[in-house]
Structure formats: C-alpha cells, structure tokens
Amino acid sequence: MTGHGHVHPQGENDAAEMFEPQSWEERYSGEERIWSGNPNPQLVAEVAGLTPGTALDVGCGEGGDVIWLARQGWRVTGADFSANGLARAARHADEAGVADVTDWWQVDARTFAADGRTYDLVTTHFLHPPDQGMVQVTRRLADAVAPGGHLLVVGHAPADVFTQLTAAKRRAMFLAEDLLPGLPDTFHVLVAEQRPRTMTHDGESVAVHDSTLLARRRT
Ligand SMILES: C[S@@+](CC[C@H](N)C(=O)[O-])C[C@H]1O[C@@H](n2cnc3c(N)ncnc32)[C@H](O)[C@@H]1O
C-alpha cells in the first residue's frame, strides 16, 4: 500500500480495536505521515490504462491513491470512516494542487450504501474488516459501480510474515477468489489472483502477495 509495511505483535484487544474508527482516529491524530503517499502498485498497474472518469476510493487513508488518480485526470471521492484521516487526505490533496477535483465522504464501508451514486471506478486497498466482512463490503462497493465501470479490490493475502498478528487480524486477510460470492453476476471478472510484492518488515524486505480482484460491470 502507500507505505504499508509495519507488522507488530498484537494482543486480541488491539486487533479488535483496529477494526473500529477510534483506533484509526488516534493513529491519524498526530502530525506524522503514516503512509508513503505513493500510489499502490496494483492501482497503477490496473488503472493507468483506463479512460479517466469518476472514481471512489474507500478506505482512502491519507489520500495517496486519491491524489494519484486525480493527477491521472479522474474526479475522485475519497471515503474513510476516520475524520482525521480524511482531514489529512484533504490537506495532502490541497498541497498536491488537486483539491478542485477531489471530495471526501466519511462512511463505514461495512454499512456503506451507494444510494444511487455511481462511479466509473470503485477502488479499495487494504481494507480488512473482521469475520470475512470483505465479501459484504465487495457487494456494497459493486453497487456503486456504473455500467461499464470497474471495481478494484486489493488486500493482503495470508502470509507467514503476518503470523505474529492475532488470529482475528489474520482471519480478516483474504484471497481474491474469496470475494467472488460478493460480486453480482452483472460483473465480468478480469483479474482474481495473488500478486507478489516486496514490503519492508523490521527493516528487511519480505515477499508478500496482494490479493487482487478486478471486475467490470456489464453495460
Ligand atoms: C491500512 S489503511 C489503508 C489506507 C489506503 N487505502 C492505503 O492503501 O494507503 C486502512 C484504511 O481504511 C480505513 N478503514 C478501516 N476500516 C474501515 C471501514 N470499515 N470503513 C471505512 N474505512 C475503514 C482506515 O481508517 C484506514 O485509513
């Protein structure tokens, strides 16, 4: 992800909190950037060739992917359940000179409802709700894709490097294929695979896989 590479041992309570907005509000309350600001590699790989239109990035964090999309010509809504995260993202977008083509939506992906809003691209990176919640989230996000538009869902595949995380956090990781039950049959699957990537863990490079689902809604 945009600088995603810190894996620390955790207790079950810490892990449970990581699924709720409060812990993210605290993480985003300081001054220090958490993520690198660089776009996620699977986003760049899959979206660089698409014709820009409207995009929604759910779990946008500090806005690295939103800013990259805006620079590619997309009109982008960044969504996250953390108000502090969104405030940071808006500040970064302003500094990057893309404030006029970005807006922000505070919403919980687990209860998100498109309510008739549609986007040419709906994307999410490293959102890991507990208890296989990503299948339901995929269904909700699919609802927000315009006919002919794309849905890109990327997350961590389970890996040895994550063994010191709690069972709850490890269960929240998924394979791309796990999400297929959440995809309406109006979608055509273009990519459903685990892609190798290198991330930094305790100062060392480790090999991980990004679970990557790309689907296109039929026109
Ligand atoms: C691991 S960070 C990834 C941030 C960004 N997508 C990136 O790749 O740099 C996960 C983000 O998802 C947000 N988040 C976690 N659970 C969420 C939920 N249920 N609804 C909305 N946002 C959520 C957190 O606030 C955080 O900003």
Segment 149-186, tens digit of pLDDT: 999 999 999 987 787 788 888 888 999 999 999 999 99
What is the residue type of 172? A
Q: Measuring CA to CA, how many Å separate 140 from each of 29, 95, 106, 116, 134?
A: 28, 31, 15, 12, 10
Ligand 1: which atom is nearest the Cα of residue 64?
9
Q: Ligand 1 in contact with 80 (CB < 6 A)?
A: yes
Task: Report phi then psi at 101, rounded to 5.
Answer: -115, 15
Q: Is 123 in the pocket of ligand 1 (CB under 6 A)?
A: no
Sequence-ordered list of residues with C-beta below 8 angstroms from that of 204, at least 6 positions apart, any chain: none
Cβ of 60 closer than 6 Å to ligand 1, yes or no, is yes
Q: What is the pLDDT of residues 24-80, one digit of tens each?
A: 999 899 877 787 779 999 999 999 999 999 999 999 999 999 999 999 999 999 999
Q: Please state the domain extents for the chain.
A: 12-217
More confident residue, 7 or 213: 213
* CA-nearest residue, atom 13 of ligand 1: 59
Does ligand 1 come within 6 angstroms of the Cβ of 40? Answer: yes
- The stretch 70-96 carries a mean pLDDT of 97
What is the spatial distance between Cα 48 and Cα 150, in angstroms, rounded to a whole number?
13
Q: Are 136 and 113 in contact (CB under 8 A)?
A: no
Superfamily of structural domain 12-217: Vaccinia Virus protein VP39 (3.40.50.150)
109 in ligand 1 pocket by Cβ < 6 Å? yes
Nearest one of 201, 18, 110, 159 to 124, comparing CA atoms: 110
pTM of the complete model: 0.93
The DSSP letter of residue 114 is: -
For the chain, the average pLDDT equals 90
